[in-house]
Amino acid sequence: MIIFIAITTVVFTLFGGLFAIKYQDKLHLILGFSAGAVIGVAFFDLLPEAIELSGTTLSISEVTSVVALGFILYMLLDRFACGHGHDAEDHCENENHRGQIGAGSLSVHSFLDGMAVGLAFQVSTEVGTVVTIAVLAHKFFDGLNTVSLILKNGGTQKVAFKWLVIGAIAPVLGIISTRLFSLQESSLGIMLALFCGFFLYIGASDLLPESHHRHPTYWTTFATVLGVAVLYGLIRVVG
């Protein structure tokens, strides 16, 4: 069963990324949707899970402080490690770095998704099944968001596909890793809170502004709201 789950996560992620590549001419709408999806994952998936998993060791205010720390850390990384250069070549190179760091964050999140599935099955088959449904519900959007970040920041389709494959394999590696160790829920909760901050920054400061750049805001705004609504609905359905 674990093997089937691993293969399914790969397929869902690849399908989302290939969808973004195929409809690259509609990138502003995809970026708007991706921004809503990323923000939706942060608010409706990562934050509640972080609060629940950290409940015995951290208060809600402490968890949200970790979220804020994640936001600030990603901002500092974005501003100083990937700061814009003065000439066109440096600017292009730094933009590509930004996209790859964002895609890398999504890949690490996918790895944690795989860990969540593996650890859940250590508890029971029932718990593992529920967590698997939740993870699969947003794997499509993980692939779509990964490709969107690369293309938006000037990356080529080849680079986007490379990161898409990495993101698709990441949850499989996460599942396999849980065969080697067990992780305390509180530690996993802190990691999810940090990634919540990362995703809020990516969605609000990277994807969302670019989706409106040189495009009418009506449809891109609708796409963003749709992205939030779809992720909210999926997460509510899978509990």
pLDDT in tens, 175-229: 998 888 776 777 878 888 888 888 898 888 766 776 666 566 788 889 889 989 9
Q: Which pairs count as long-range contacts for 7-10, CB under 8 Å and 24+ apart, including other chains?
A: 8/136, 9/110, 9/113, 9/114, 9/135, 9/136, 9/139, 9/168, 9/171, 9/172, 10/168, 10/169, 10/171, 10/172
Cα separation, 39 vs 133, in Å, equals: 20
pTM: 0.66
Torsion, Cα 196 198 199 204, to 10 degrees, reads 120
pLDDT at site 214 = 56
In this structure, how many other beta carbons lie within 10 angstroms of the beta carbon of residue 61?
7
Q: Tell me the three state secondary structure of residue 205.
A: helix
pLDDT at site 88 = 47
Q: Hey, what amino acid is at 5?
A: I
Under-70 pLDDT residues of the chain? 81-95, 123-124, 126-127, 130-131, 133-134, 137-138, 183, 206-207, 210-216, 239
Tokens encoding 14: 């690849």
Whether 238 and 129 have beta carbons less than 8 Å apart is answered as no
pLDDT at site 212 = 65
Per-residue pLDDT of 84-96, as tens digits, reads 444 444 544 555 7
